[in-house]
Amino acid sequence: MAKKNKLSNAAVKIGSAMGRAERTAHKIRKASVVAREELNDLTKQIDGLKRRLQKTTQRLKKAMA
């Protein structure tokens, strides 16, 4: 009976560790999705600022000419 109890305890510990690892993996995946979306938003903002800077540069060149 003692062996069965030890094996059961070991199985519970292994299962608990796997559950914690799985939860952590899910949290990391969710965080990576959010980070990817934020990166895409920042990229769009940078592209918009770049276009505005180009237009402003053109206006300045025309004004100085």
Q: What SS3 string covers the chain?
A: CHHHHHHHHHHHHHHHHHHHHHHHHHHHHHHHHHHHHHHHHHHHHHHHHHHHHHHHHHHHHHHHC
pLDDT score for 15: 95
Going by pLDDT thresholds of 50, 70 and 90, the confidence category of residue 59 is very high
pLDDT single digits (tens) 7-29: 999 999 999 999 999 999 999 99
pLDDT single digits (tens) 28-45: 999 999 999 999 999 999
In the predicted structure, residue 1 carries a pLDDT above the cut 60: no
